[in-house]
């Protein structure tokens, strides 16, 4: 990690937006994305006790994805169509995968979800990571391809090679690196991991 570049980006951002994500422009942007609303929704839909009904879990996954401003408009209807085409067994596997990813064996959960999405050619990083980003906003990371590739290149992150096909190995390493980077910047830039990634994205484009 190029710490000098990260600190330069921090200084430039705080100069332009004093107070970081408490700056009025950043608060307005946050309101546009409805992050707090999505977090509350996800934490209500996907608490551990809710996973007794895999059909309802799948319906709620579609609701969260459809409402998210961070998921492509092209991916939303495709995900809904996927759910309509899944067998009961596949819906159960998808639901159990999300349960494990949020509450249990993360690697198994990630790979089970990946198997279902890959069967429909929907193995997208955004679909794989959006719900966990809302459910655990300070623990998990949202991976948007253009942002991830740019962050790796701009801040010279070693040992990370982005690939379009989601993998647990990359996710785990990328998450570890993002959480490490957060420790080096002012807390006003890290109200959530999604916000911190937004700061990195804006820093790359400035």
Residues 62 and 107 in one domain: yes
Q: Does 27 fall in a domain?
A: no
At 29 the pLDDT is 80
Domain that holds residue 149: 3-18+141-205
Residues 42 and 8 in one domain: no
Q: Does 31 fall in a domain?
A: no
Q: Does 28 fall in a domain?
A: no
Q: What is the pTM of this model?
A: 0.91
Q: What is the dihedral of CA 109, 71, 190, 44, to 10 degrees?
A: -60
Q: Residue 107: name the closest of 172, 175, 173, 193 by CA.
A: 172
Residues 124 and 68 in one domain: yes
Q: Does 73 fall in a domain?
A: yes
Looking at 135, 162, 187, the residue that finishes a domain is 135
Per-residue pLDDT of 69-101, as tens digits, reads 889 889 999 999 999 999 999 999 999 999 999
Q: Does 161 fall in a domain?
A: yes
Tell me how far apart the alpha carbons of residues 92 and 113 are, in angstroms, rounded to a whole number. Answer: 10
Q: Does 54 fall in a domain?
A: yes
Structural contact between residues 191 and 31, judged by C-beta atoms closer than 8 angstroms? no
Tell me how far apart the alpha carbons of residues 206 and 201 are, in angstroms, rounded to a whole number. Answer: 9
Per-residue pLDDT of 21-56, as tens digits, reads 888 988 888 777 788 899 999 999 999 999 999 999
Looking at 110, 135, 160, the residue that finishes a domain is 135
Per-residue pLDDT of 123-182, as tens digits, reads 999 999 999 999 999 999 999 999 999 999 999 998 899 999 999 999 999 999 999 999
Q: Does 25 fall in a domain?
A: no
* Average pLDDT score, the chain: 92
Looking at 108, 135, 162, the residue that finishes a domain is 135
Q: Does 93 fall in a domain?
A: yes
Looking at the structure of the chain, the number of domains it has is: 2
Tell me how far apart the alpha carbons of residues 122 and 4 are, in angstroms, rounded to a whole number. Answer: 37
Residues 64 and 103 in one domain: yes
Q: Which residues of 11-48 are buried (b: 16+ CB within 10 A; e: fewer)?
A: eebbeebeebbebeebeebbeeeebeebbebbeebbee
Residues 111 and 150 in one domain: no
């Amino acid at each position: 990690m190029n710490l000098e570049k990260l600190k330069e980006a921090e200084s430039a951002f705080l100069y332009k937006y004093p107070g970081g994500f408490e700056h009025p422009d950043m608060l307005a942007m946050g309101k546009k994305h409805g992050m707090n609303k999505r977090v509350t929704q996800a934490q209500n839909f996907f608490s551990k006790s809710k996973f007794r009904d895999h059909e309802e879990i799948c319906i709620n996954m579609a609701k969260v994805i459809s409402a998210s401003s961070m998921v492509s408009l092209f991916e939303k209807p495709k995900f809904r169509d996927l759910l309509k085409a899944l067998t009961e067994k596949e819906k159960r596997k998808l639901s159990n995968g999300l349960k494990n990813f949020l509450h249990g064996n993360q690697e198994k959960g990630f790979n089970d979800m990946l198997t279902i999405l890959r069967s429909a050619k929907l193995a997208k990083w955004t679909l794989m990571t959006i719900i966990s980003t809302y459910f655990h906003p300070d623990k998990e990371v949202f991976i948007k391809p253009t942002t991830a590739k740019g962050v790796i290149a701009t801040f010279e992150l070693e040992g990370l090679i982005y690939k379009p096909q989601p993998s647990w190995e990359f996710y785990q390493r990328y998450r570890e690196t993002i959480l490490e980077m957060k420790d080096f910047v002012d807390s006003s830039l890290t109200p959530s991991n999604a916000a911190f990634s937004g700061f990195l994205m804006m820093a790359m484009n400035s």
